[in-house]
Amino acid sequence: LAAIVESSEDAIIGKSLEGIVTSWNQGASRLFGYTAEEMVGQSVSRIVPPERSEEEAEILLRLRRGERVERYETVRRHKDGRMVDVSLSVSPIRDRSSRVIGASKIARDITDQKRVEAATRQAHERLQEQTAVLELAPVLVRDMESRIILWTKGAERLYGFSKAEALGRVSHELFQTEFVSGKAYVDEMLRGVGQWEGELIHRKSNGEQLVVASQQIVYRDSTGRSLHILEVNADITERKRAEQGLRESQARFANIIDSAMDAIISIDAAQRVVLFNTAAERMFGCAAAEALGRPLDRFIPAPLREAHRAHVRAFGATGATNRTMGKLKDLTALRVDGQEFPIEASISQTNVEGGKLFTVILRDISRRKAAEEALSRSEERLRALATRLQQAREEEAMRIARELHDQLGRCLTAMKMDVDGIGRGLAGAVAEADFGALLERVKRMNETLDETVYTVRRISAELRPGVLDDLGLAAAIEWQARDFQARSGVSCVVRVPEEDLPLSPDQATAMFRIFQESLTNVARHAQATKVWVNLSEEEGAVVLEIEDDGVGISPARLAERHSLGLLGMRERVAVFGGEIEFAGMPGQGTAVVVRMPVLGTS
C-alpha cells in the first residue's frame, strides 16, 4: 500500500485534525513543489492561499463530523507562488474505536482540465454570439435543388417572407430573381469553383424590387459531395441609387464643364493635368488626351513656371491666392504652337482621397486686351484732339481779344476823340438856339462810346484776360476773384504766392479756366456768401484750392460722369498728368482741389 501511495500521480497527503501534515507523497511534491521533509510536521495552510483559509477550516470541521469531501475544486499555492487548480477528495481516518483522528487528502491537478473547460466555454460563447449574429443577418441555406432549408430572422426582415412561407421554396422563384450576369453562369461557378458573388435583383413579399450583393458558398462532405449552399445577401438598393445619382451628376457636371466658355483645368498635387475641358482644348490648341497626365508646365511660359509652381504649393498650404477672376494683374499662358497670350485666372482647391485637386478657370482676354488698347489709343487721340481744340480756342480767343482791344479799341477811342472835337467846334459855329440840343446829342454819343469801350474791354478780358499773359496765374486769379466779388456780391478771400509759379502757359491757362468754372458753379448753385481761394506750390506740384460755404453737393452728384462741367475740369488737368478732387456734403459747402505737376515732373 505504501508503494502504491508513493508512486501515485495524484498528491496524497495525510494530516491531523489540526491541519498538521503527517505524510506527503511524491505526487504531492510534484504538484506543490515542496519535499516531504519540508512539509511533514508543518501546517497544511502553507499551500493554502490566504483568501482560501476559511475554506480549509470548513474542510477540517466536516472531517471532525466524520464527513467525506468529494471532488472539491479549489486553488492551492505552489512553492514558487503560482496558483494550481486542484480537485480535492478528503476522507476521515478513524482509530479502532471509529473515532476520527486524522484525514487522508487526495489532490489532483486539474489545471489542463480547467484550461480546456475555459476554452470550451469561450468557444461556446463565441458560437452563441455568431449564431445570434447569423440569425440577425439576411442568411439562407439552400439544398442543391435551390430549395430553402434555413431561413434567418434577418432574411425575414429583408424580404418580408415568414419562415413558414420561405422553407421548401425554390429561392429564385420566391424572389423572382433577375440574374445580372445570367443564371447559367452563377450555376456553373457554384458547380465548378464552389462559390460565387455578385449582384442580383430580388423582389420582396410586397413586390418591391431591391438590389442585393450576394455571396454564395457550396458546402461539401469529406467525399466532396455537395451538401448545401450558404447564401448571404446584403441590401445595396440605396447604394445603387446613390451610384446612379452620382453617375447622372457626373454626367451633368461633365456636360457643364465641356459646354463652359472658359477653359477649366484641374491638376493634382504633383501639378499634373487630370481635367481638360473642350474650351481648354480650343484655347491651347491641344487635345485633352494629349494633356491629361502631363505637367501643366507645358502651358506656362518657361520664365513663369517656377513662380506658378510655388504659388500653387503656397495656395495648397495656406488657401491664400491673389488669383481671382477680374481682380488681378494679367497672366500669360502658352499655346502648344508657342504663342503667348494674356489670360485671367481663378484658382480653387478640393480635398480628395490621396491628396488635393486644384482647379483653375482660365479666360483668354486677347480680344479684350486688343479692344482696351484700341480704346486707349482712341482716348489718347481724342484727348490730344480735345487739347488741340482747347489750345486753338484759347489762341483764337487771344487773337480776338487782342483785335478787340487793339483795333476796335483804337477805333472807338478815335471816334470818341472826334465826337469830343465836334462838340467843342459846335460851341462857336451853331446858333445859340440849337446849341443845347446838339450838345445833348453829342453827350449821349459820348456815353454810348464809353459804354461800348467798356463792353469791348470786358469781352476781351473774358475771352483772354491780359493779366494772365502779362502778370501770370497768381495775378489773374486775384483779378478774377475781385471781378467775381464785384459782380456776385460773394466775398472772396484769396491767398497767392508772390513769386512766379513753374507752370507752362498751357498749364496756367488750364488752372485759370478751372478756377473760372469753379466760380461759375458757385454763382449758379452754391448759394454761398464766402469763397476761400488758396494757390500754393508743394511737393512738386502747384495746388489750387477753392472752398465755399454754400449748400454743398451730394456724393452722388460728384460721382456723375456725364456732368459736362466737372468732366471738362477733369479733362483739363488730366492732359498734364494732374489731379482734381471734388468734396462736399449737403449743407457743408463744396471744395475743389487741383494739383498740377510743375515743369519737368509731369
Q: How close are the terminal C-alpha atoms of the chain, in Å? A: 133
Confidence of residue 158 (pLDDT cuts 50, 70, 90): very high
The per-residue pLDDT for 435 is 63
Report which DSSP code applies to 236.
-
Q: Which helix (H) or strand (E) holds 414?
A: helix 409-429
Range with the poorest average pLDDT among 170-174, 358-362, 469-473, 531-535: 469-473
Quickly list H helices, 490-593. Answer: 505-521, 555-559, 564-574
Q: Which residues pair with 77 in a beta bridge?
A: 83
Instruction: Tell me the three cell numbers of residue 197.
Output: 458573388
pLDDT at 405: 55
355 or 390, greater pLDDT: 355
Instruction: Compute the average pLDDT of residues 540-544.
Output: 93
Is the pLDDT reported for residue 602 higher than 70? no
Other beta carbons less than 10 A from residue 102's beta carbon: 18
Short-list 179, 171, 224, 226, CA closest to 199? 179
Residues 6+ apart with CB under 8 A from 83: 49, 75, 76, 77
The pLDDT of residue 164: 95
At 169-185, the pLDDT tens digits run 999 999 999 999 999 99
Confidence at 320, pLDDT banded by 50, 70, 90: low
The 10 Å Cβ neighbour count of residue 408 is 17
Give the residue-averaged pLDDT of 465-474: 80
325: alpha, beta or left? (left if phi > 0; alpha if psi -120 to 50): beta
Q: Do domains 2-116 and 472-597 have the same CATH topology?
A: no
> Using the 8-state DSSP alphabet, how is residue 500 labeled?
P
More confident residue, 273 or 471: 273
In degrees rounded to 5, what are phi and psi of residue 326? 80, 0
Q: What would the 3-class secondary structure string for 166-197 be?
A: HCCCEHHHHCCCEECCCHHHHHHHHHHCCEEE
Q: Rounded distance, CA 25 to CA 36, Å?
A: 7
Mean pLDDT (the chain) is: 84
Q: Looking at residues 103-119, what average pLDDT do you find? A: 88
| pLDDT score for 2 | 59
pLDDT score of 595 more than 90? yes
> Domain 472-597 belongs to what topology?
Heat Shock Protein 90 (3.30.565)
Is pLDDT above 60 for 1? no
3-state class (DSSP) for residue 323: coil
| pLDDT beyond 70 at 388 | no
* Confidence at residue 471, expressed as pLDDT on a 0 to 100 scale: 82
> What is the spatial distance between Cα 385 and Cα 392, in angstroms, rounded to a whole number?
10
SS3 587: coil
Q: What confidence score (pLDDT) does residue 325 get?
A: 46
* Residue 196 · residue 186 · CB < 8 Å: yes
- Identify the pLDDT of residue 34: 95
Q: For residue 414, what pLDDT band results from cuts at 50, 70 and 90? A: low
Helix 432-463 to helix 409-429 angle, to the nearest 10 degrees?
A: 170
What the block records as the C-alpha cell of 391 is 489750345
pLDDT tens, residue by residue, 214-231: 999 999 988 889 999 999
| Confidence check: pLDDT of 213 > 60 | yes
Which residue type does 275 have?
L
- CA dihedral (146, 147, 153, 159) positive or negative: positive
454 pLDDT higher than 60: yes
- Segment (H or E) for 13: strand 11-16
DSSP 8-state code for residue 501: P
Three-state SS across 96-115?
CCCCEEEEEEEEEECHHHHH
Q: Domain locations in the chain? A: 2-116, 137-241, 262-364, 370-460, 472-597
pLDDT surpasses 50 at 491: yes
Angle at alpha carbon of residue 390, lines to 387 and 395, rounded to 5°: 125
DSSP string, 137-167: S-EEEEETT-BEEEE-HHHHHHH---HHHHT
Burial class (CB in 10 A: 0-12, 13-18, 19+), 33: middle
Report pLDDT digits (tens) over 37-96. 999 999 999 999 999 888 888 888 888 888 888 989 999 999 999 999 999 999 999 888
Q: Count of alpha carbons within 13 Å of 86, Cβ hemisphere only?
A: 26
Pairing assessment for the beta strands 83-94 and 148-151 based on DSSP bridges: unpaired
CATH architecture of 262-364: 2-Layer Sandwich (3.30)
**562-577 pLDDT, tens digit each:** 566 777 888 888 888 8
Query: Is pLDDT above 60 for 488?
Result: yes
Give the model's confidence band at 316: pLDDT under 50 very low, under 70 low, under 90 confident, else very high.
confident
pLDDT bucket at 144, cuts 50 / 70 / 90: very high
420 versus 234: which is more confidently predicted?
Answer: 234
What average pLDDT does this structure show over 450-459?
A: 68
Length of the chain measured in residues? 602
Res 237: pLDDT: 93
Q: How many CB atoms lie within 10 A of CB 416?
A: 17
pLDDT of residue 566: 78
pLDDT at residue 125 greater than cutoff 80? no
Q: Which fold has domain 137-241?
A: Beta-Lactamase (3.30.450)
d(CA 143, CA 230): 9
Q: How far is Cα 181 from Cα 199, in angstroms, rounded to an integer?
A: 8
**β-bridge mates for residue 548, sequence order:** 531
Q: Which three cell numbers stand for residue 401?
A: 481779344
Residue 499 has phi, psi (to 5 degrees) of: -80, 160
Q: Say yes or no: domain 2-116 is CATH 3.30.450.20.
A: yes
